[in-house]
């Protein structure tokens, strides 16, 4: 003890807190300065009353103090104990909950924000929670913002932990209990969770959660399903006493509690270099596992088909094994039930544009070219709306297309439609009949001629004849668009194929039974380029189609997986139907706010390293942090 200006043996004592400095005794005699066990009370038989004996230190004549042992016999358990100095309260309104734990000196360096903890109740139930705040509090009532205190601190070599209290604030997440034989003889009792409905006892020991079953139950993480990553806190994997020592986070993929969350739609959001394509490939590889099937309305179990739009020519690499995966990593993934390796049934279905070639040299997947037949414009007039059309021009375009296909049949081509519009007699006829005004006719003609040349009716098989190649149970179809000449050409191909899939999936009279009868995931990278809100008629038609798909996809076994670095640009009508959000590093504040995740997770997003993510899936689990797999399950990159 530093007595300052007082000499050993002096009878003088500090008369005020400021004089006492940092070594003044606690003012609350009912709460010891150290978390130890009390020695025998002076009133006990055999207790020493000699103020100079080992029972305590005398500070004056005829004064007895109860002694506290800061290092009790035995081994410490846990991190600390529940404190009541500022109240102890759990409430339905989380803002009114007061749950704090005193952390002992030896444990202070190991606790972190977000760490999962357990607090026992007397009847063996457990309170499961996490650390939401950490603070140092003064142990003694003294003014530590003084010259003397500062100079003393500056002369010390080490920080004196025992001069301060270290307190963790806890967020109670659930009560864990065993659901089995009340006598306790049921060895197969299942661990269950319920909402927090009781307060722990003062002084209850607080321990770190290290049992995988307790952690998964506390966070409501399913035991089986689609692997997304490993549970983490602050970018470090949560370690347990089990083997493997990590906690696998899985997305519910069965019908036990409703439809699989795959068909409730998924968003993967992340900035450039955050690892969103790497993460998406790993998710898709799990979905394409040989043993993964989905029940259809007719009672069949069918494998999922995946159609992925690929603006960077990366997803066809999923055909190939990852040369960076060593045998030890492969064995580790196998022990955790994570499917890895190239997917043989991968097809690159390549859009054909006149005069434009596709390289495809970075993968070994089979390639098949296709074209968009102009006949698709009969039901999708917005495919030939080269630029904005107003409310009068769009109906005029529909009339012209109906007239054209009535004369030319389903085999009419885009070139023939342009010739059809060049007929001055047609323009006069429609104007005189009051069906299409001359000015409107000319406006529609300009818009139609504004679409890219070389997209419709090229020397390849029409996509309408390739439904069995496009959708294959257990197959991955990748549609690369990076090689196309313009963004408008890319948009045409993506919207033509996606609208074909959505229409057949949701229709009661589909053109393709294969599409209708196969569970399907429609993946779209750079989704903000195709699903952004706009004022044009054709844009609103596209948004309405995807909105319909998002709303009805669950019952039709149609899931959307949207990948984007600009989630704020995705139309709200589509976005609000998404249940699962996997958010990697995003630097833009508007983008972070748009993903609609809890504020505690929002604050972490800008600081996450590559591969780190937060997942918010309310129908699956509590919101958590994840670390993705460091090695991609298939080939990725050059």
Domain end point (choices 194, 220, 246): 220
**543 shares a domain with 394:** no
Domain end point (choices 220, 236, 269): 220
Domain range for residue 425?
A: 388-449
- Is residue 138, in this structure, part of any structural domain at all? yes
- Is residue 158, in this structure, part of any structural domain at all? yes
Residue 455 to residue 415: CA distance in whole angstroms: 11
3-state secondary structure 151-185: HHHHHCCCCCHHHEEEEEEEEEEEEEEEECCCCCC
The alpha carbon of residue 278 and the mean position of all alpha carbons in its chain are separated, in whole angstroms, by: 14
The alpha carbon of residue 349 and the mean position of all alpha carbons in its chain are separated, in whole angstroms, by: 30
Residue 88 near residue 211, CB atoms below 8 Å: no
**461 shares a domain with 397:** no
**363 shares a domain with 417:** no
Residue 550 to residue 114: CA distance in whole angstroms: 33
Provide the 8-state DSSP code for 456.
Answer: B
**459 shares a domain with 442:** no
- Is residue 296, in this structure, part of any structural domain at all? yes
- Is residue 261, in this structure, part of any structural domain at all? no
**471 shares a domain with 396:** no
Secondary structure of the chain: what % helix, strand, coil (to 5)? 30, 20, 50
Residue 401 to residue 599: CA distance in whole angstroms: 51
State pLDDT tens for residues 237-296.
999 988 889 999 999 999 988 899 999 999 999 999 999 999 999 999 999 999 999 999
Q: Which H helix or E strand runs over 525?
A: strand 520-525
Which segments within 71-125 are labelled E, that is strand? 80-83, 100-103, 116-120
Task: Note the pLDDT of residue 302.
Answer: 96
How many folded domains does the chain comprise? 3
- Kindly tell me if the per-residue pLDDT of 52 is higher than 90: no
State pLDDT tens for residues 390-423.
777 889 999 999 999 999 999 999 999 999 999 9
Residue 1 to residue 3: CA distance in whole angstroms: 6
For 155, other C-beta atoms within 10 Å of its C-beta total 7
State pLDDT tens for residues 432-449.
999 999 999 999 999 899
Which residue is listed with tokens 């009535």?
A: 406
- Is residue 4, in this structure, part of any structural domain at all? no
- Is residue 98, in this structure, part of any structural domain at all? yes
Query: What mean pLDDT comes out for the span 600-621?
Result: 94
Which residue is listed with tokens 């580790």?
A: 332
∠ CA 286-289-295, nearest 5°, is 100
Q: On the CB side of 130, how many CA atoms lie within 13 Å of its CA?
A: 20
**409 shares a domain with 365:** no
Q: Which two tokens stand for residue 602?
A: 């929002």
Q: For all residues of the chain together, what is the average pLDDT? A: 86
Residue 104 near residue 76, CB atoms below 8 Å: yes
* Across 28-37, 204-213, 465-474, 606-615, least confident range: 28-37
Task: Please tell me which of 75-89, 162-176, 330-344 the model is most confident about, judged by mean pLDDT.
Answer: 330-344
**416 shares a domain with 346:** no
- Is residue 284, in this structure, part of any structural domain at all? no
**548 shares a domain with 475:** yes
- Identify the residue with better confidence: 66 or 246: 246
Q: Which two tokens stand for residue 592?
A: 């972070």
Q: Is 322 exposed, middle or buried (0-12, 13-18, 19+ CB in 10 A)?
A: buried
Domain end point (choices 400, 418, 449): 449
Residue 344 to residue 351: CA distance in whole angstroms: 21
**402 shares a domain with 369:** no
**512 shares a domain with 487:** yes
Residue 613 to residue 610: CA distance in whole angstroms: 8
- Is residue 461, in this structure, part of any structural domain at all? yes
**465 shares a domain with 402:** no
- pTM for the model stands at 0.83
Q: Which two tokens stand for residue 148?
A: 């003397």
**542 shares a domain with 419:** no
């Amino acid at each position: 003890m530093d007595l300052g200006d007082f000499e050993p043996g002096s009878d003088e004592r500090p008369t005020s807190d400021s004089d006492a400095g940092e070594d003044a005794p606690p003012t609350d005699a009912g709460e010891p300065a150290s978390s130890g066990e009390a020695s025998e009370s002076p009133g006990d038989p055999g207790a020493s009353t000699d103020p100079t004996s080992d029972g305590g230190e005398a500070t004056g004549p005829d004064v007895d103090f109860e002694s506290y042992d800061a290092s009790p016999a035995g081994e410490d358990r846990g991190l600390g104990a529940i404190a009541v100095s500022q109240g102890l309260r759990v409430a339905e309104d989380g803002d009114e909950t007061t749950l704090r734990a005193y952390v002992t000196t030896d444990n202070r360096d190991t606790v972190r924000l977000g760490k999962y903890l357990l607090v026992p109740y007397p009847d063996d139930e457990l309170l499961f929670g996490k650390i939401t705040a950490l603070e140092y509090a003064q142990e003694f009532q003294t003014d530590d913002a003084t010259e003397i205190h500062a100079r003393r601190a500056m002369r010390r070599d080490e920080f004196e932990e025992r001069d301060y209290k270290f307190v963790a604030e806890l967020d109670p997440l659930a009560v864990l209990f065993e659901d089995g034989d009340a006598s306790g003889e049921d060895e197969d009792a299942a661990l269950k969770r319920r909402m927090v409905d009781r307060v722990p006892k003062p002084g209850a020991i607080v321990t770190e959660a290290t049992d995988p079953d307790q952690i998964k139950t506390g966070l409501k993480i399913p035991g089986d399903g689609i692997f997304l990553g490993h549970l983490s806190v602050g970018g470090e994997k949560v370690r347990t006493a089990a083997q493997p020592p990590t906690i696998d986070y899985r997305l519910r993929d069965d019908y036990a509690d409703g439809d699989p969350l795959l068909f409730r739609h998924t968003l993967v959001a992340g900035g450039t270099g955050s690892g969103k394509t790497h993460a998406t490939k790993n998710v898709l590889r799990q979905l394409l596992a040989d043993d993964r099937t989905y029940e259809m309305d007719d009672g069949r179990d069918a494998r999922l088909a995946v159609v992925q739009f690929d603006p960077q020519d990366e997803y066809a690499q999923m055909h190939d094994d990852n040369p960076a995966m060593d045998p030890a990593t492969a064995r580790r993934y196998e022990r955790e039930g994570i499917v890895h390796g190239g997917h043989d049934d991968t097809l690159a279905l390549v859009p054909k544009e006149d005069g434009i070639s596709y390289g495809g040299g970075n993968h070994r997947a089979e390639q098949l070219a296709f074209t968009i037949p102009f006949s698709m414009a009969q039901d999708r007039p917005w495919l030939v709306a080269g630029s904005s059309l107003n409310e009068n021009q769009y109906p005029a375009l529909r009339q012209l297309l109906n007239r054209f296909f009535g004369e030319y049949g389903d085999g009419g081509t885009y070139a023939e439609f342009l010739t059809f519009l060049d007929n001055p007699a047609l323009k006069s006829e429609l104007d005189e009949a009051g069906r299409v005004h001359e000015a409107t006719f000319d406006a529609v003609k300009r818009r139609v001629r504004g679409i890219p040349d070389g997209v419709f009716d090229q020397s390849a098989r029409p996509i309408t004849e390739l439904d069995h190649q496009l959708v294959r149970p257990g197959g991955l179809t990748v549609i690369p668009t990076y090689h196309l000449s313009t963004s408008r050409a890319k948009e045409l191909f993506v919207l033509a194929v996606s609208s074909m899939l959505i229409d057949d999936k949701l229709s009661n009279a589909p053109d393709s039974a294969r599409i209708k009868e196969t569970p399907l995931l429609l993946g779209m990278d750079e989704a903000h380029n195709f699903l952004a809100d706009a004022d044009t008629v054709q844009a609103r038609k596209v948004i309405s189609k995807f909105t319909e798909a998002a709303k009805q996809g669950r019952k039709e076994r149609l899931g959307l997986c949207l990948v984007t670095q600009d989630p704020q640009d995705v139309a709200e009508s589509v976005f609000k139907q998404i249940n699962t959000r996997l958010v990697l590093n995003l630097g833009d504040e508007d983008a972070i706010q748009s993903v609609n995740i809890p504020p505690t997770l929002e604050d972490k997003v800008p600081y996450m390293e590559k591969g780190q993510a937060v997942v918010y899936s309310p129908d699956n689990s509590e919101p958590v942090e994840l670390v993705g797999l460091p090695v991609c399950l298939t080939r990725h990159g050059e």
